[in-house]
Amino acid sequence: MSATEIQSPRSAKAPAAKVGSNRIAPQYRRNGSSKGNFEMLAWLFMRLSGVVLVVLIFGHLFVNLLVGEGIHAIDFGFVAGKWADPFWQIWDLAMLWLAMLHGTNGVRTIINDYAEKDATRLWLKIVLYAATTVIIILGTLVIFTFDPCPVVNGVQLPGGFCPAP
């Protein structure tokens, strides 16, 4: 086996040496100037969103699985009942965005760690970001365009919650 090779972080381009800097090790700076402090902000976001997600997801699991009949109560009417209330719309919207961004950043880190070829990393991240974009837009539209009484071609779909005629 060859000797262990220590590689520079893949999350940012290796910075150029800054001539005349007073830093102790001017050759090594973690953030390349073009990327700013994105990695630090991503690190901070994981911690801040993590705390909020603990509250949002524990609340979600408690209300949907542990109260009343639990999972057997979940059907179209259950969702309609929740999203009739802006409180749960905002709750679910915040959960969607924070969980997707938190998860996407986590998977981005894992791709950076394990995919060694530049092209592999690029393609995995393109797929990841495409999936994230689709899921966030889809989920957001579903929360805000939800219709408790869907009508197709003038006919009410069965199972909907429609006002009495």
Partner 1 sequence: MPTKPAGTLYRGREGMWSWVGHRITGVVIFFFLLVHVLDTSLVRVSPEAYTAVIGAYKNPLMALGETGLVAAIVFHAFNGLRIIAVDFWKKGAKYQRQMLWTVLILWAVVMVGFSIRHLSLALGGH
Q: Which residues bind partner 1 (CB under 8 A)?
A: 1, 4, 47, 50-51, 53-54, 57-58, 61, 65-66, 69-72, 74-77, 79-80, 96, 99-100, 103-104, 106-107, 110, 131, 135, 138-139, 141-142, 145-147, 150, 157-160
Nearest approach, Cβ of residue 87 and partner 1 (Å): 17
Nearest approach, Cβ of residue 20 and partner 1 (Å): 33
Nearest approach, Cβ of residue 135 and partner 1 (Å): 5
Q: What are phi and psi of 14, to 5 degrees?
A: -65, 130
Nearer to partner 1 (CB atom), residue 80 or residue 94: 80
Nearer to partner 1 (CB atom), residue 17 or residue 44: 44
Nearer to partner 1 (CB atom), residue 33 or residue 120: 120
C-alpha torsion 130→133→136→139, nearest 10 = -70
**Alpha carbons within 13 A on the beta-carbon side of 146:** 23
**SS3 assignment, position 7:** coil
Nearest approach, Cβ of residue 78 and partner 1 (Å): 9
Nearer to partner 1 (CB atom), residue 9 or residue 50: 50
The span from the CA of 123 to the CA of 128, in Å, is 8
Write the CA distances from 15 to 23, 33, 35, 41, 61, integer angstroms.
14, 7, 10, 18, 45
